[in-house]
Amino acid sequence: MPEGPELHLASLYVNKMCNGVVFTGPVRKSEVSKSPDVPFTCEAYRITATSRGKEVKLTLTPIKSDDTKQRLKTGQADQPMDVVFRFGMSGNFRFTTEDELPKHSHLRFYSKEKPCRVLSFVDVRRFGSWQPSGTWQSSRGPCVMFEYKSFRENVVSHLSDSAFDRPICEILLNQKYFNGIGNYLRAEILFRLNIPPFVAARTTLEGLDSEDLCESEKPVKKENTDKKPSDRTKQKRVKEETGDLLRLCHTVPLEVVSLGGKGYDPEKADYSGFKAWLQCYYVDGMKSIRDHNGRTMWFKGDPGPMVPKDSKSPKPKKRAKKEDDHDYTDKKKVARGRSANTTKKQVKQETVTKTPKKNKDARVKQSRSKTQEGNAPHEKKPTARRRKSSNAGPTTAGPLRRSGRVTRQKSN
DNA sequence: CGTCCACGTCTAC
DNA sequence: TAGACCTGGACGG
């Protein structure tokens, strides 16, 4: 659930579900969670939520009672407490009855009703975290969706920062400047403007005004294809109609919010709406390669000059089980078909083992050493990456990593 | 069965 | 700038 739109939708969900609900008692944490305890307990309190970029803040507000003495004696809160959440790769909120507690519910707020209900912070992978008495993380910039003006100013006034030496697709994930943008949004945003992902960020951004000159412009849409404008003209028109890159960092996430539903959440029934909204990310026919941080960048056309030297396309997953093969309307299939699979459900017990194990995600980053001799491309960056374990003898477990990864994409 | 991949940070050489 | 941190679904053998 994790880019700006999903975090915001989560805050809307909490406010809707918890409106009028009275919560009680302590906040409870799962055994396995390593996030801190939330030292808040109260006979009667309410919960509201707000979001900023990729964070959600819950505010726990005690309901006034006359019995101050009693409250203090039993350690009850009488002041509100904020808890700030980051969702990692899989965080979300759910409000259920007590006996329907979701698996991986790691922080729980109990309602005072008879068959009580529970607001859960659910997080399968546990990359998410929370901070009791928390504040918005100071290293993160303004929210691309709801602090648009200061977001723009923050970027435009810091273009000399060396962070902007990087390719545009990589700085779009830098939360100091693009709080709320994640991997699918960067693909969708650059795709809309036809910006090659691996061009220098500063080049792409300089010249943009800290004021949005497009301000009062109406939505988007409308594509007049009878004319064949030159590329230059086309670029200009695109800008006029849809706004510049910074504006799309604002409007594109907001589109996801207005889709309703849950945004990116393949497990949910209303995922199809989101899937249909995607134009580039994981879409059949698009290209993808790993950026310098090992994250998959989806794009169309020219990758741009700053492509990682040894980068390869991740393997195109075959479309999952059939599902619908009847294309009713225009076909807009997505490469990944996570079907709503509700079959088995191994109730495996989550444990607290601390066995040092082989990392998995790390392997994703190690681009296989293609030319396994140390050719050193020391042009610009001291690209020390790409090698590492290559000539250090085969690792016991994984001798040959991927061999030939084929570039997905049929046409171009 | 094993490998690869996933909406994101963090922090330690 | 590599790993580390996690679970689980899709796929391949």
Question: Residue A99: phi, psi to the nearest 5?
Answer: -90, 0
Contact, A337 CB vs strand C, < 7 Å: yes
Is pLDDT at A345 greater than 80 in this prediction?
no
**Window from A14-23, A38-47, A242-251, A324-333 with minimum mean pLDDT:** A324-333
Please, are residues A128 and A1 in contact by the beta-carbon 8 Å criterion? no
Residue type, A3: E
pLDDT given at position A69: 65
Nucleotide lying nearest to A389, CA to C1' measure: C2
Query: Bigger pLDDT: A294 or A375?
Result: A294
A176 classed as catalytic: no
Please, are residues A77 and A61 in contact by the beta-carbon 8 Å criterion? no
Q: State the Cα angle at A297 between A294 and A300, rounded to 5°.
A: 155
Q: Give the tokens for residue A290.
A: 């790993």
Distance between the alpha carbon (CA) of A13 and the C1' atom of C5, Å = 28
pLDDT given at position A251: 98
With b meaning 16 or more CB within 10 Å and e meaning fewer, what string describes A299-326?
bbeebbebbbebbbbbebeeeeeeeeee
Of A324, A318, A323, which is closest to residue A336 (Cα–Cα)? A318
**Window from A95-104, A205-214, A332-341, A394-403 with minimum mean pLDDT:** A394-403
Residue type, A100: E
**CB within 8 Å of A117: residues ≥ 6 apart:** A21, A95, A96, A97, A98, A110, A111
Q: Check A2, A62, A167, A316 and give the catalytic one.
A: A2
Query: Bigger pLDDT: A36 or A373?
Result: A36
Is pLDDT at A355 greater than 70 in this prediction?
no
- DSSP β-bridge partners for residue A79: none
User: 3-class secondary structure for chain A?
Assistant: CCCHHHHHHHHHHHHHHHCCCCEEEECEECCCCCCCCCCCEEEEEEEEEEEECCEEEEEEEECCCCCHHHHHHCCCCCCCEEEEEECCCCEEEEEEEHHHCCCCEEEEEEECCCCCEEEEEEECCCCCEEEECCCCCCCCCCECCCCHHHHHHHHHCCCCCHHHHCEHHHHCCCCCCCECCCHHHHHHHHHHHCCCCCCEHHHHHCCCCCCCCCCCCCCCCCCCCCCCCCHHHHHHHHHHHHCCHHHHHHHHHHHHHHCCCCCCCCCCCCHHHHHHHCCCCCECCCEEEECCCCCEEEECCCCCCCCCCCCCCCCCCCCCCCCCCCCCCCCCCECCCCCCCCCCCCCCCCCCCCCCCCCCHHHHHCCCCCCCCCCCCCCCCCCCCCCCCCCCCCCCCCCCCCCCCCCCCCCC
CATH 3.20.20.70 fits A4-132, yes or no: no
Is pLDDT at A46 greater than 50 in this prediction?
yes
Note the strand B nucleotides within 7 A of protein beta carbons. Answer: 3-10
pLDDT, chain A, mean: 77
Which residue matches tokens 């209303």?
A270
The architecture CATH gives domain A148-299: Orthogonal Bundle (1.10)
For the segment A144-164, what is each residue's pLDDT rounded down to a tens digit?
999 999 999 999 999 999 999
Is pLDDT at A334 greater than 90 in this prediction?
no
**Structure confidence at residue A384 as a pLDDT band (50, 70, 90):** very low
Distance between the alpha carbon (CA) of A271 and the C1' atom of C4, Å = 30
Q: Check A5, A29, A43, A54 and give the catalytic one.
A: A54
Distance of alpha carbon A8 from alpha carbon A180, whole angstroms = 10
A54 classed as catalytic: yes
Q: How far is CA A56 from the centre of its chain?
A: 13
For the segment A109-151, what is each residue's pLDDT rounded down to a tens digit?
999 999 999 999 999 999 999 999 999 999 999 999 999 999 9
pLDDT given at position A314: 74
pLDDT given at position A215: 62
Is pLDDT at A54 greater than 80 in this prediction?
yes
**Structure confidence at residue A313 as a pLDDT band (50, 70, 90):** confident
| Residue ranges of chain A that CATH labels 3.20.190.10 | 4-132
Distance between the alpha carbon (CA) of A215 and the C1' atom of B12, Å = 45
Percent of chain A whose pLDDT exceeds 90: 59
| Residue ranges of chain A that CATH labels 1.10.8.50 | 148-299
Distance between the alpha carbon (CA) of A206 and the C1' atom of C1, Å = 27
pLDDT given at position A129: 98
Q: Give the tokens for residue A141.
A: 């910039």
Contact, A402 CB vs strand B, < 7 Å: yes
Q: Check A3, A43, A147, A188 and give the catalytic one.
A: A3
